[in-house]
């Protein structure tokens, strides 16, 4: 499959409809303890309230709103620590032994110093595909938004020292819209149709999720089966090759790897100009993340750009990015 654009939602293609021996589902079950499957990351996050209730939860001041919203709704007491440009923390010296610390493995760049705390909740979405076992990238509790990594309608995992089961059945309408969107995205590509319709359907699915006031839903049976059709080693190795290529060309010395390669600019204007230049060539780089909703300041949000470099792409794609960035 030759992809003309870079970034955006995944395609649910025929290769992901056939069982694979070394699949993602088996990898999860073998690597993590007490796994529960949820519809989305925010569904899983809401359920950890059982564990952190009556404790203080320390959050990084650089995170996605979908992490914060369910925690805010739950009423858990939160404090923030600062994340620097190198994605390492600053300000965790006030963390008490009984507190919980939420750690995000940004772009596979693990701040090992944060793992000194006893009570850690680790977001492994960006480090899930790392297959190097020299360092334990998980925490007392681990969370991963699988749907952000793979061509599946819904899915997130929650794992750790205790099993926390979902409260509700699947998000039926959300799954239906996401399934249609992912399948029709591929169909539109094959037939050179406009992708506007499936883009609209996928946006509608996210709108349903954003408007939901209830969390704790289970992952669909469809997505759990699709996990068995994704070759874990293949997607991990391909992603690593792309990440390493960008690292070499952009002269960065990041350890680890991820489905996104971070570029931090000196100003928002410089970042926005680069995104615009890439967008005109069909390369859509998201921003992780706009944190204005927090009410705390971290200007990293305004200077960062994430380059997609997951399993869908090859050197021809990453080379195109390098040429445009100059």
What lies within 8 Å, CB to CB, of 254 at 6+ separation is: 107, 108, 109, 247, 262
Predicted pLDDT at 326: 78
Residue 318 banded pLDDT, cuts 50, 70, 90: very high
pTM to 2 decimal places: 0.94
> Hey, is 24 helix, strand or coil?
helix
- CA pair distance 11, 324, nearest whole angstrom: 25
Cβ atoms 68, 293 nearer than 8 A: yes
Residue 189 banded pLDDT, cuts 50, 70, 90: confident
Beta strand residue intervals within the chain, DSSP E: 36-38, 56-60, 77-83, 89-90, 100-104, 120-123, 141-144, 156-160, 260-264, 304-308
Q: What is the mean pLDDT of residues 42-46?
A: 96
| Per-residue model confidence as pLDDT tens digits over 275-301 | 999 999 999 999 999 998 888 779 999
- CA pair distance 13, 21, nearest whole angstrom: 18
- CA pair distance 234, 246, nearest whole angstrom: 19
Count other C-beta atoms under 10 Å from residue 287's C-beta. Answer: 14
Peptide bond into 246 cis (omega under 30): no
Predicted pLDDT at 134: 58
Answer whether residue 197 shows pLDDT above 90.
no
CA atoms within 13 A on the CB side of 208: 17
Predicted pLDDT at 135: 62
Q: How many helices (H) and strands (E) does the chain have?
A: 11, 10
Count other C-beta atoms under 10 Å from residue 53's C-beta. Answer: 12
Predicted pLDDT at 168: 96
What lies within 8 Å, CB to CB, of 294 at 6+ separation is: 61, 63, 68, 80
- For the record, the structure tokens of 199 come out as 């883009």
Predicted pLDDT at 296: 74
- CA pair distance 237, 20, nearest whole angstrom: 16
Mean pLDDT across the chain, nearest whole number? 92
Burial of residue 171, with CB atoms counted within 10 A of its CB: 0-12 exposed, 13-18 middle, 19 or more buried: buried
Cβ atoms 294, 300 nearer than 8 A: no
């Amino acid at each position: 499959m030759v992809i003309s654009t870079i970034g955006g939602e995944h395609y649910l293609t025929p290769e992901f409809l056939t069982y694979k021996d070394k699949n993602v589902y088996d990898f999860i079950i073998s690597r993590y303890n007490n796994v529960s499957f949820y519809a989305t990351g925010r569904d899983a996050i809401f359920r950890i309230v059982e564990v952190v209730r009556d404790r203080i939860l320390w959050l990084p001041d650089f995170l996605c709103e979908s992490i914060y919203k369910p925690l805010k709704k739950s009423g858990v007491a939160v404090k923030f620590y600062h994340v620097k440009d190198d994605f390492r923390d600053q300000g965790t010296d006030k963390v008490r032994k009984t507190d919980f610390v939420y750690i995000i493995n940004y772009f596979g760049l693990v701040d090992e110093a944060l793992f000194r705390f006893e009570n850690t909740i680790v977001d492994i979405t960006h480090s899930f595909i790392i297959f190097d076992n020299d360092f334990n990238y998980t925490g007392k509790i681990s969370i991963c938004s699988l749907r952000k990594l793979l061509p599946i309608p819904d899915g997130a995992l929650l794992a750790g020292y205790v099993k926390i089961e979902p409260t509700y059945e699947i998000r039926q309408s959300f799954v239906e819209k996401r399934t249609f969107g992912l399948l029709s995205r591929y169909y539109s590509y094959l037939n050179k149709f406009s992708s506007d319709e499936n883009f609209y359907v996928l946006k509608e699915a996210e709108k349903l999720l954003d408007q939901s006031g209830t969390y704790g839903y289970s992952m669909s049976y469809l997505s759990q089966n699709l996990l068995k059709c994704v070759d874990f080693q293949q997607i991990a190795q391909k992603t690593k090759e792309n990440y390493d290529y960008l690292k070499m060309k952009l002269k960065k010395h990041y350890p680890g790897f991820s489905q996104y390669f971070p570029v931090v600019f000196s100003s928002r204007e410089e970042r926005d100009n680069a995104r615009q230049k890439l967008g005109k060539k069909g390369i859509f780089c998201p921003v992780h993340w706009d944190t204005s909703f927090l009410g705390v300041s971290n200007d990293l949000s305004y200077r960062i750009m994430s380059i997609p470099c997951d399993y869908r792409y090859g050197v021809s794609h990453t080379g195109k990015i390098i040429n445009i960035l100059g």
